[in-house]
């Protein structure tokens, strides 16, 4: 049995980022940039006004003899248009926010600091002195032509999409999303819309994993459930090999019907098949042909937790991310962890921020078949291997799965 860290290292060593594809800008959300983004233009592309007001020569705003200067208004320039003449001494031009500053003007005074008889008036009084550059946003103030704006490997969020749009990237080079085949196993497992029969249970794992895979940024393909026969598994694996990653649940422990390992030996390689942890000791990793296979345990909680620990980082690495792991914080375990385990224990818990600290409250019965222990859990409290005891109010590390809104 290997440690969680060694398992993760051995898995990730076999996983490489996938190839680049071009996607339309609006579909790039959540992808990782495959190339750096260099500005091909200045942003803003031209000097423009930050205010509605008047473009003028700043020296014309100086009052003489205590009287506000009066300037002749020669026209106006709206956003989206260019002035057809220059501003000269003793004159001003109406200007709107975002409009290009007309030639000759070196400043803009906001309308609130001026007085006119009416909005179309030919004269404007300047009520305050302004400095050169006042209310002018120079070309290239935000981004300069030739400047690297987004690094390769950046995750594309809404703000990056705004930047890509302003730089004219209608399509974006990204790492493509992994396609993940999800396969259930077991003669006892029936589909969600089938009535329960003696000895049967519904397939919760495939649906749980499908959602978790999608949330991790990959494209899930749920391939149903293989029977506990070599033939049935072989048939499903043939289909699964079209994908970038195969995730199975069940069939990897030491029981007579644990056939996933047999197929891996027959059609590929097994890297390991047991990890010193709970829930989820029987995790197998290897390849079917060239396709990596992560064999998760059948117990639903074990499948959920081991997907978080191993499946999600694999998907993130394939997707081009360099930060693969959930953040860990120190928490006060209010109720402690009652059972001592020799294996590393990942305890489902609710973490909350209170009085300047994080407090964890475990979610009840931690049996690997108790799906309700996943409810309300936003973290996994990590109890080290070796039978370490966590008493109430002890501190421990917790892996945060979600940061709750407040």
At residue 358's C-alpha, the angle toward residues 355 and 364, to 5°, is 120
CA distances (Å), origin 291, targets 31, 97, 270, 286, 295 = 22, 56, 12, 8, 12
If binding is defined by CB under 6 A, does position 295 make contact with ligand AMP?
no
Interface with ligand AMP in residues 148-187 (CB under 6 A): 184-186
Assigned token pair, 10: 């051995």
Instruction: Name the one residue in this structure whose structure tokens are 């892996």.
Output: 399
Q: x/- binding map, residues 189-228, to ligand AMP, per CB under 6 A?
A: x-----------x-xxxx----------------------
Contact 249, 297 (CB under 8 A): yes
Nearer to ligand AMP, 169 or 346 (CB): 346
Contacts of 62 (CB under 8 A, 6+ apart): 69, 129
Question: Nearest-CB residue to Mg ion?
Answer: 186
Single residue of 61, 253, 319, 366 touching ligand AMP by CB under 6 A: 253
If binding is defined by CB under 6 A, does position 306 make contact with ligand AMP?
no
Nearer to ligand AMP, 220 or 251 (CB): 251
Nearer to ligand AMP, 28 or 206 (CB): 206
Smallest gap from Cβ 234 to Mg ion, in A, equals: 16
How far apart, in whole angstroms, are the C-alpha atoms of residue 383 and residue 352? 18
219-226: strand order across its sheet:
219-226, 179-185, 245-249, 291-296, 284-288, 268-272
Stretch that binds ligand AMP, among 54-62, 103-111, 191-199, 251-259 (CB under 6 A): 251-259
If binding is defined by CB under 6 A, does position 129 make contact with ligand AMP?
no
Q: Are strands 328-333 and 394-400 parallel, antiparallel or unpaired?
A: antiparallel
How far apart, in whole angstroms, are the C-alpha atoms of residue 145 and residue 230? 61
Picked from ligand AMP, Mg ion, none, the partner binding residue 305 (CB below 5 to 8 A depending on kind) is none
Single residue of 186, 220, 279, 292 touching Mg ion by CB under 5 A: 186
Nearer to ligand AMP, 17 or 279 (CB): 279
Q: Which residues bind ligand AMP (CB under 6 A)?
A: 184-186, 188-189, 201, 203-206, 249-251, 253, 255, 297-300
């Amino acid at each position: 049995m290997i440690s969680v860290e060694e398992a993760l290292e051995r898995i990730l060593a076999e996983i490489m980022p996938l190839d680049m594809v071009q996607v339309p800008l609006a579909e790039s959300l959540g992808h990782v940039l495959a190339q750096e983004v260099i500005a091909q233009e200045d942003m803003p592309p031209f000097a423009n006004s930050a205010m509605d007001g008047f473009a003028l020569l700043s020296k014309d705003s100086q009052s003489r003899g205590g009287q506000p200067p009066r300037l002749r208004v020669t026209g106006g320039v709206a956003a989206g248009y260019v002035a057809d003449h220059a501003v000269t001494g003793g004159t001003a031009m109406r200007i709107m926010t975002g409009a290009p500053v007309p030639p000759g003007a070196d400043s803009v005074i906001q309308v609130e600091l001026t007085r006119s008889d009416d909005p179309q008036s030919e004269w404007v009084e300047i009520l305050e002195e302004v400095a050169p550059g006042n209310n002018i946003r120079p070309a290239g103030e935000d981004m300069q032509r030739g400047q690297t704006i987004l690094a390769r490997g950046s995750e594309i969020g809404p703000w990056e999409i705004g930047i890509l749009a302003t730089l004219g990237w209608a399509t974006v080079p990204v790492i493509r999303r992994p396609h993940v085949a999800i396969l259930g196993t077991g003669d006892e497992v029936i589909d969600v819309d089938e009535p329960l029969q003696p000895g049967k249970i519904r397939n919760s794992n495939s649906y749980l994993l499908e959602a978790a895979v999608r949330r991790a940024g990959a494209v899930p393909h749920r391939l149903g459930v293989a029977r506990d026969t070599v033939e049935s598994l072989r048939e499903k694996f043939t289909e699964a090999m079209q994908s970038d990653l195969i995730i199975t649940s069940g069939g990897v422990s030491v029981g007579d019907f644990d056939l996933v390992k047999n197929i891996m030996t027959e059609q590929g390689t097994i890297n390991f098949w047991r990890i010193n942890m709970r829930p989820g000791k029987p995790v197998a990793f290897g390849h079917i042909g060239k396709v990596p296979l992560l064999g998760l345990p059948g117990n639903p909680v074990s499948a959920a937790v081991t997907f978080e620990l191993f499946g999600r980082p694999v998907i993130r690495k394939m997707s081009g991310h360099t930060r693969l792991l959930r953040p860990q914080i120190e928490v006060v375990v209010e109720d402690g962890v009652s059972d001592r385990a020799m294996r590393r224990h990942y305890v489902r818990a609710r973490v909350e921020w209170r009085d300047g600290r994080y407090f964890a409250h475990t979610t009840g019965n931690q049996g690997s078949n108790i799906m309700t222990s996943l409810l309300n859990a936003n973290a996994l409290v990590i109890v080290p291997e070796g039978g370490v005891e966590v008493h109430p109010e002890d501190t421990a590390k917790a892996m945060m799965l979600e940061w709750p809104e407040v």
